[in-house]
Amino acid sequence: MPFLVDLHTHTSESSACASQSVEELLFRAEAVGLDGVAVTDHNYIDAALKAQRLGRRRRIKVFVGVEVLTEEIGDVLVYGLRQNFPDAPVSLRRLAKLAEREGAVMFAAHPFRRNARNGLWAYIEESKFDWRRAVELPELLRPLAGLETYNGGATPQENADAALFAARYRLLGIAGSDAHGSLRVGWCATEFEYELDDDGQLVQALKIGRFKLTRIQSEFESEVERRAHLKAVAGLRGQELIDYMQNWMRRKQRRVY
For position 212, which CATH number holds? 3.20.20.140
| 68/184 same-domain check | yes
| 36 and 9 belong to one structural domain | yes
Residues 76 and 95 in one domain: yes
Residue 122, pLDDT > 70, answer yes
212 and 227 assigned to the same domain:
no
Residues 185 and 239 in one domain: no
Residue 247 structural domain:
222-257
Verify that 243 and 209 share a domain, yes or no. Answer: no
Q: Is the pLDDT of residue 207 over 90?
A: yes
Do 191 and 118 reside in the same domain of the chain?
yes
pLDDT given at position 257? 47
Q: Are 157 and 178 found together in one domain?
A: yes
**Measured distance CA(254)–CA(257) in Å, rounded:** 10
Predicted model pTM: 0.92
pLDDT digits (tens, 9 = 90+) for 21-71: 999 999 999 999 999 999 999 999 999 999 999 999 889 999 999 999 999
Residue 249's pLDDT band (cuts 50, 70, 90): confident
Judge if 251 and 138 occupy the same domain: no
Domain count, the chain: 2
Asked if residue 124 has pLDDT above 90, the reply is yes
Confidence of residue 162 (pLDDT cuts 50, 70, 90): very high
Shared domain check, 174 and 236 = no
Which range is least confidently modeled, 9-23, 78-92, 95-109? Answer: 9-23
Taking the C-alpha atoms of residue 217 and residue 177, their distance in angstroms, rounded to an integer, is: 8
Sign of CA dihedral 25, 29, 31, 32: positive
For residues 249-255, give the mean pLDDT. 72
Is 240 found in the same domain as 183? no
Categorize the per-residue pLDDT at 186 as very low, low, confident or very high, splitting at 50, 70 and 90.
very high
Chain centroid, CA 41 distance in Å: 9
235 lies in the same domain as 182 = no
